[in-house]
Chains A and B, each alone.
Chain A
């Protein structure tokens, strides 16, 4: 087994605030009576703040500091979303525990078993490149480590050792010079070890395991065994949920829809990773914008063909977002999908481009419908009715029309017949054509249609209503 560990040192911050902002932001938590900084963004790091640091001290250094409270639930949710995304790369995903302890808050991680995936992705370097580009798209700060055991891979990742280490012996040779503080041992234990003169991991590992168990408890010796692969390290594997549901809570009210785009894109990327992991696509998913007072605003994103392309999803969502008027600021964002369908396999020979054109057409139609509304993007169909208003309907583009034939008709029809006030004497060029239909439903019509020619103007399609003998304009001949 070869494990890839994705370590997420900035997760406490990134789970709360996906955007990169220019103001100094820190994430803090209380331990005892003191509030400590767990994590700070780039701007905060630039103003000489470090981790861990007392929050009061930090405020003295940088009074305009923005503070967020650590939320373990948000971190857990982010890890699970990331695990669903990572499932496309490996079928065995393990989620690391989130330690409550402040010193260990930056050790959140995720493991992928990659020994079985390397061939599929065309070798290690390509595989790693794909994972890295994916993580960069999602906007997480990450470190990667590859090792023979879970704890070993995590240790390598945290230390930024980007070397593939496949055997416990090689692992020992690589980590023996590292300080003892690098291990995720409880702080009391580290202090004790330090007190008896053990400074490096190598020194600790060379001690007889039995005496370690006796002096420091079974926990430490078990940890060392797991680190070196001497005992099994059973953990529950992550399973893909059947139904996708991701939720993100903002720390602040978001009033500007533009500010929603970055988190939305990250969530859609994770969603597409999930679809890829399940090897399926979707035709329909919903985005909910949660508010404080009123129920969430729901936006349904639909496409004509099953799809799993993040750029297209994002383009559709952005079109909808631009026309959306949120009456209240947004507090949370969720994506849900429970209808999945495999994208139709587009198999074609190398030079045939008609299928790509069809694909292009459906995406163009989706984009138009997302911005203008489904009812405003349609095809035309004939209907078997003599009444002009009912002789056509809207339909889907590409839907075959009924093979009907009509007598000569004008190219332009007015939505409503307009009563006419003719001042000049026109020339009737053809007619009448009597249309008398609809006695069986509510729209009974008895009309005589004429074509009227106006000098230096359009040919008009007019009718005389036989019931009230008035004249109406119904179309232009064009």
Chain B
């Protein structure tokens, strides 16, 4: 055996060792209420999480912000595939997401969206991939699940709330509804525990925590204290 062969064999052995036995990583959701009920205390890598929001804008993306912020802070990449609107960079930045670790993909057709989801999930550089496909079939979810396992990343797939009626092979399915100051989450399915219960998460609380965390470095906004009641409602048609 010459030196090159020996090296190659050694590398293979080392990689085997690193990949073969590593347990799936757990990523806390950033919301204590949610972490407390999830079986592993957070999102599990190598799985697909289906999120079924009742409407766009109720806080469905906000739910992922602590996760994405923590992932990008660790130098991992995050991909947003076919978002329904423009993911607004200043807001993402305010939530602590590092923009240079963010990839945005706009695919015209649904099949391209699913393809891009699979490609990015399979790539080891992405810790999380967030996708908004128009429609997903069971076998698509299964394919994505395999890709996520190969790439050891977490896939968040948004679907319409009507999909809650159908079964899905995804590891976790959460129905999201608007609630005062946050979200009401119905855990429809969750690998490792029995689904079918609901919890409420409060964004306000975590936002305050975030602000407290930041206030040491950033000067507070001076013009924040205008009361909303000062503004007339007569402008509404």
Contacts and interface: CB of A to CB of B under 8 A. Distances in A.
A48 B192 CA distance: 67
A401 B93 CA distance: 10
Nearest to A456: B178
Interface string B53-91: 001111111100100000000000100000111111111
A280 B56 CA distance: 50
A388 B18 CA distance: 46
B236 interface: yes
Interface in A364-422: 364-365, 367-368, 371-372, 376-382, 388, 391-392, 394, 397-401, 404-415, 420-422
Interface string A43-66: 000000000000000000000000
B14 interface: yes
A431 interface: yes
A478 B124 CA distance: 29
A379 B14 contact: no
State the 10 A-B residue pairs at the shortest beta-carbon distance, nearest first: A476-B57, A458-B57, A392-B89, A406-B90, A361-B125, A409-B91, A364-B123, A413-B88, A412-B85, A401-B99
Interface of B: 2, 4, 7, 10-11, 14-15, 18, 55-62, 65, 77, 83-95, 98-108, 112, 115-116, 119-120, 122-126, 177-178, 218, 221, 223, 226, 228, 231, 233, 235-237
Provide the main secondary structure of the chain B interface. mixed
B116 A476 contact: no
A365 B103 contact: yes
A371 B112 contact: yes
B224 to A, nearest CB: 8
B89 A391 contact: yes
A367 B226 CA distance: 50
A350 B11 contact: yes
A471 interface: yes
Given A398-B100, A412-B56, A380 B11 contact: no
A357 interface: yes
A478 B235 CA distance: 24
A431 B231 CA distance: 8
Interface residues of A, number: 67
A460 B228 CA distance: 15
Contacts of B93: 382, 401, 404-406
B88 A392 contact: yes
B106 A372 contact: yes
Interface of A: 122, 350-351, 353, 356-358, 360-361, 364-365, 367-368, 371-372, 376-382, 388, 391-392, 394, 397-401, 404-415, 420-422, 425-433, 450, 456-460, 464, 471, 475-478
B88 A412 contact: yes
A357 B122 CA distance: 11
A425 B11 contact: no
Nearest to A414: B85
Contacts of A358: 125
**Central interface residue in B91, B106, B112, B218, by most chain A CB within 10 Å:** B91
Given A377-B105, A405-B218, A411-B62, A460 B57 contact: yes
What secondary structure prevails in chain A residues at the interface with B? mixed
B89 A377 contact: no
A227 B198 CA distance: 89
A457 B55 contact: yes
Nearest to B122: A364
B161 to A, nearest CB: 13
Contacts of B56: 412, 458, 476, 478
A317 B218 CA distance: 49
A398 B78 CA distance: 11
A422 B237 contact: yes
B85 A408 contact: no
Contacts of B100: 379, 397-401
B237 A421 contact: yes
Given A377-B105, A398-B100, A422-B237, A432 B77 contact: no
Contacts of B59: 458, 477-478
B60 A379 contact: no
A353 B218 CA distance: 36
A361 B62 contact: no
Contacts of B90: 382, 388, 391-392, 404, 406, 409
B34 to A, nearest CB: 17
B59 to A, nearest CB: 6
Contacts of A432: 226, 231
Contacts of B89: 380-382, 391-392, 401
B94 A414 contact: no
Of A353, A380, A391, most buried by chain B (CB within 10 Å of CB) is A380
Query: Which of B7, B57, B58, B62 has the most CB atoms of chain A within a 10 A radius of its CB?
Result: B57
A351 B105 contact: no
Contact of B94 (A353, A409, A413): A409
Contacts of A460: 57
29 contacts: A122-B2, A122-B4, A351-B14, A357-B124, A357-B125, A360-B124, A360-B125, A368-B120, A377-B103, A382-B99, A392-B90, A398-B100, A400-B100, A401-B99, A401-B100, A407-B221, A408-B91, A410-B91, A411-B61, A412-B57, A412-B85, A412-B86, A425-B233, A459-B57, A464-B235, A475-B88, A476-B56, A477-B59, A478-B61
Of A364, A414, A426, which is in contact with the most chain B CB atoms at under 10 Å from its CB?
A364
Contacts of B116: 368, 371-372
A397 B102 contact: yes
B178 A397 contact: no
Q: Which of B4, B87, B177 has the most CB of A within 10 A?
A: B87
Contacts of A459: 57
Given A405-B218, A411-B87, 8 more contacts: A122-B4, A360-B123, A377-B105, A379-B103, A388-B90, A394-B104, A412-B86, A431-B231
B237 A450 contact: no
Nearest to B123: A364
A411 B91 contact: yes
